[in-house]
Structure 1
C-alpha cells in the first residue's frame, strides 16, 4: 500500500510527464502498429472481430509482461526502498489526478477572466465534442463531465487493479482503457474490429465505476455538498448514460453540486442528445469545475484509505 500512496504523491508533485517515452504513449504506438497489421476493411464482420480480439490479447500480454519484467529487474537494486520506489513510479504513470486537475483549473481560469475563445480551445483538448460554439456554461459542463468520468478510468480503476494484482495488473488495465479510447468506437470502421476492446473496458470498469459513485457520495458529505441528492441522482440517472459505467460518476457529481449534466452535444457538426443527469437547481458555472476537482481528490484519498483499511483487516 505504500506504493499506491507514493505513486499518488509522485503524481501530485510531478504530474504526468509529456514525453514520447511515456508508457501509455508507447502502448498507444503498439496499438496503432498492430491495427495497421490486422485491420483489413474488406474482411467480413466476423473476421474483423477476430482480428480485433487478437490485437487485444497481444497488447494485454505484452503490456503485462513488460511491467512484470521491469519490477523483476528492480529486485536487483541494492538499497532497501529501491523496489517500492520503482513500483511507485511505474504506478504513477497509470493514474492522472494532477493532469485532470491542471486541465480543469486552466479552463476555470480562462472562464473567470472571460477568455472564452481560449477556453473553447482548451476544453477541446479533453473532450471529443465540437467546442467552437460553446458558451461558458456549456464549457463548464463539458469540463465537469470529463473530470467526473475520468475519475474512474484515470484514477480509481488503475488503483483498484493495483490493489488486487500489483503494478502489472494496473498496466494491463491502462492498456485495455487505451485500446478502448483508440479503437472502441461504434462507427463503420471499428464497430466489429474494436468490439472486444470496448467490451473489455466495460467489464474492467464495472466494479470501480460503482465504487467511485459511492465514494463521490462520501466525498460530498465530507466537503459539505449534498450527499443525499448525490446518492439519489446516482440511483435515478446513472443508467441513462450511454456507457454502462460513466453515469455512476457523472450523475453522482451532478446531484452533489445541484447541477444538470448531459444534454445536446455536437460531433463533427451533427447534434446528438445525451440523457440528462441531475437537476438544474443551479446553472452550471466555472465554480463547479473547482468543486468537482475537490471531489476528485477527496475520492482518491478515500479510496487509498479504504484499500489500506481492507489490507490491514486481511493481515497484509
Structure 2
C-alpha cells in the first residue's frame, strides 16, 4: 500500500511538473501587460528589411544561434566586455549582424511598456515575422522567456558547422532535444540564407586526394560557384544564396538538394543519407507539409533551455 501511494505521489508530481513546464510559456503572455508588443516588433523588423534585404535571413539565423547555445535566452545579444568575449563576437556570429533590429524594437518597447518584454521573446517573435513576411507560415509564438546573464564566444564552437555530416547534425540537434524531423525542417530556414565563399569553397577544389569537386554536387552548379569564388579571391563579400528564390520562404531549398545544388556540404548530406533523404523528398514535393513541420519545429526550438531565474534586460546588449 505504501509503495502504491509512493508511485501515485511520484506520478502526480511529474504531472504537476509537466504542467508547470508547459505553463512557463504561452501565446497570451503580454496580452495585459504589453498588448502592442507584437506590432512594435513587426514594425521594427519591417522597417529594417525595407532598407536591408539580408535582415530576414540574419534574424532567423540569430534565433537558431541563440537557442542552440544556452537555450533561447538572448545570450547572443550581449556585448563583449574587456573581461569577456561574448557569443556575438564568436566566429559563427560575425556575419549575423542585424542585432540593431532587436535593439530598435527593444527601445520602442521600453517606451510603451517599460521592463516588460524580454529580449529573448523579441528574437522569437521577430523570427516568426521574417518568415511570414517572406511568404512563409504564421504561428502564435509562445512567450514568457527570460534573458540570461552569461554569454561566451567560446561556446559558439558547438554550433552545427556547414561541413557536418548527417550523423554529426543528428547528434547536435539531439543535444537540444530535437529529432531528425526537426533537423530537416529547421534546415529549411536556409531558404532565406546567404553564405560567403569560405563556408563552402572546400567543396569546389581539392575536395579529396582523388576528387577535385565534391561528388554530391552538380557539376554545372560547382562551376557556377567556382566563378563566384575564384582563387585568389579579393572580394570578402563574395558568396552564394543558399536558395535560388532567396527572398521567398518556400520549399525550393529542398528541390535544389534533390538535384545536387545544395551549397553547404551539411545541406547536401541530408539528401545523401537514408535517415533524412525521404524527409527532404517529402518537403520538396509538398510545400504545405514543410510549412507545417517547420512551425512545429520552431515551436520546439523556442522551448529549448527556458530559464526561470533570468531577467528582462533594459537594453539587450548588457545585463541589468
Using structure 2 for the length normalisation, give the TM-score: 0.28
| Bigger RCO (CA 8 Å, 6+ sep) | 2
Using structure 1 for the length normalisation, give the TM-score: 0.28
Q: Which has the higher helix share?
A: 1
Structure with bigger gyration radius: 2
